Structure 1
């Protein structure tokens, strides 16, 4: 059981929560990014720096994550790949991507991307605040508890 973190765009508070939870539960963590990350050296914590390029980190995670792992990402196409493989995906705001919701999330992402390219909308997601941190922490704890029961 490993937690894979799509770390390039992962909020720092989420990285910190994952590090604490991983240490508390002795869970392997792999932070994947295309640039160096300030992640402390610890047992069960690994960083993988992939080459620069579009979706290189996502492809690495998709190729290495397996059933019973958790992938933390806000990249919806990566989450769709992961869910399709039967692997759990969680976004940094605490929302689990599932077979029931991933198609809708992907469609909304594609629509938003198209509207942005046409200048119809601008900006990104809402601020990452205390509510989002709490939602993520709760979702991560639920997954860890469930995962530990099944191993």
Structure 2
């Protein structure tokens, strides 16, 4: 099992690095080469700055049972189809049971933006940070307890 972090605008880099290291799990941070990343633990993968380059890199590398961390629902759908476990940066598990409703909301919001109507996404809070850390730690502990 490996962890892939969609790192371009990820607010969880330090938390993910700390937990990956504590659990002894390989961490890959994937981002545009325009994003400055440094880590003594993670393997950093820089890709070109085109819109979907990081997503495609993650989708091509992910294997069943790997963990992916992203805020991108389109990427989440691809990764679920590849057998990955997916968490967003608020600590919500993205699953086969909820991905379609998330994609529907994303589509509706995109249509509204084209009409000049913008939805307000609340800023990530301290509670979200705590929830993310707890969810990732629990997921990694659960997966390490499995016999594969």
TM range (shorter): over 0.9
Q: Report the counterpart of residue 18 of structure 2 in structure 1.
A: 20
* Unpaired stretches in structure 2, ≥5 consecutive residues: none
> With structure 2 as the length reference, what TM-score do the two structures score?
0.94
Question: Distance in 2 between the 1:18 and 1:103 partners?
Answer: 26
Q: Report the counterpart of residue 5 of structure 1 in structure 2.
A: 5
> With structure 1 as the length reference, what TM-score do the two structures score?
0.92
Structure 2 residue matching 1:47: 3-state secondary structure = strand
Deviations 1:59-100 (A, max 9, x none): 000010101110000000000111122211110000010000
Count of residues in Structure 1 that have an aligned counterpart in Structure 2: 146
Structure 2 residue matching 1:9: 3-state secondary structure = coil
What is the CA distance between 1:39 and its match in structure 2?
A: 2.2
What is the CA distance between 1:122 and its match in structure 2?
A: 4.6
What is the CA distance between 1:138 and its match in structure 2?
A: 1.0
Q: Report the counterpart of residue 116 of structure 1 in structure 2.
A: 113
Q: How does 1:1-150 map to 2 (within 5 A)?
A: 1-11=1-11, 14-34=12-32, 35-42=34-41, 45-123=42-120, 125-150=121-146
Structure 2 residue matching 1:86: 3-state secondary structure = coil
Q: Is the 8 A contact 1:37 1:47 kept in 2?
A: no
Extract structure 1 runs of 4+ deviating beyond 6 A: none
Question: Distance in 2 between the 1:24 and 1:39 partners?
Answer: 18
What is the CA distance between 1:21 and its match in structure 2?
A: 0.5
